[in-house]
Amino acid sequence: MGFKGTHPLLLQPRRLGIAVLAGAVGAVFFLFIFPKGSISTLMHHVLHLPGPGAGIALILGPVALVFALISSHLARGAAGGALLAALAFSVAYATVVAVLRLPTSEKGMFGSLWFVMALTACGVLVEGLLFLTRGLRLRWRFILAASGANTGLLVFYWVVIFPRTEGWVSWGAVPLLLAMSLAGGLVAGAAAWALSIRIPDLVGLVPRRESDVRTR
């Protein structure tokens, strides 16, 4: 059977705290591994990928989704685990940037309200896709949810954020960028699944047996 949790995460303070922590840890990891300019340099000057959106499809989205999906696993299916982690990721990132006065990507509006909205929308997509695929095994739920949500995040950036900072994406670049977002989501989903099934039993939130959560 899949996860049996059906109560909202807000009614379970211990799991709520772990979801927030997962998102915050992800934000700090992302912030210090990819400082200002590093994503654009890697995507466009090293790999020569088209844009705008390559960094969203291959770095921001997959990193945030790994932590959101792990949070969902820790919450044992309680509604809101992935959404809360995505929200915590964006808010923690914005908070650290503001407190430490760190430079961020203007093109991606990292740390802004738009950034928070983008990752929150991504979290909503994850929750919806996990619900729609609840009859599948965990690995496929994670892979499908991550691929769909990563693509949704990229489209959000194309429609809402990049027109304000970088301009509209060219139609010729859309197929490759969409393929990259699906591939990035696939990798993120698989990574989140692989990490989740190896997480020890934390304060009674994660079952020890893989069969309890349909990981195979």
CATH for 9-213, among 1.10.1660, 1.10.3470, 1.10.1760, 1.20.5? 1.10.1760
pTM: 0.85
Average the pLDDT over 22-45 and give the result. Answer: 85
Q: What is d(CA 186, CA 178) in angstroms, rounded to the nearest whole number?
A: 12
pLDDT over 70 at 77, yes or no? no
Q: Which range has the worst mean pLDDT, 39-48, 108-117, 141-150?
A: 39-48
Q: What is d(CA 120, CA 46) in angstroms, rounded to the nearest whole number?
A: 30
Write the pLDDT tens digit of every residue in 123-135: 999 999 999 998 9
- Give the H/E segment covering residue 54: helix 54-55
pLDDT at 9: 55
pLDDT at 63: 96
Q: Which range has the worst mean pLDDT, 84-88, 154-158, 163-167?
A: 163-167
Q: Is the Cα torsion angle 108, 98, 65, 84 positive or negative in sign?
A: negative
In angstroms, the Cα distances linking 58 to 4, 65, 129, 178 are 32, 11, 20, 11
pLDDT over 90 at 47, yes or no? no
Task: Calculate the average pLDDT of the chain.
Answer: 85
Give the Cβ contact number of residue 155 at 10 Å: 18
pLDDT at 13: 75
Q: 50 near 176, Cβ under 8 Å?
A: yes
What is the DSSP secondary-structure string of 28-43? HHHHHHS-TTHHHIII
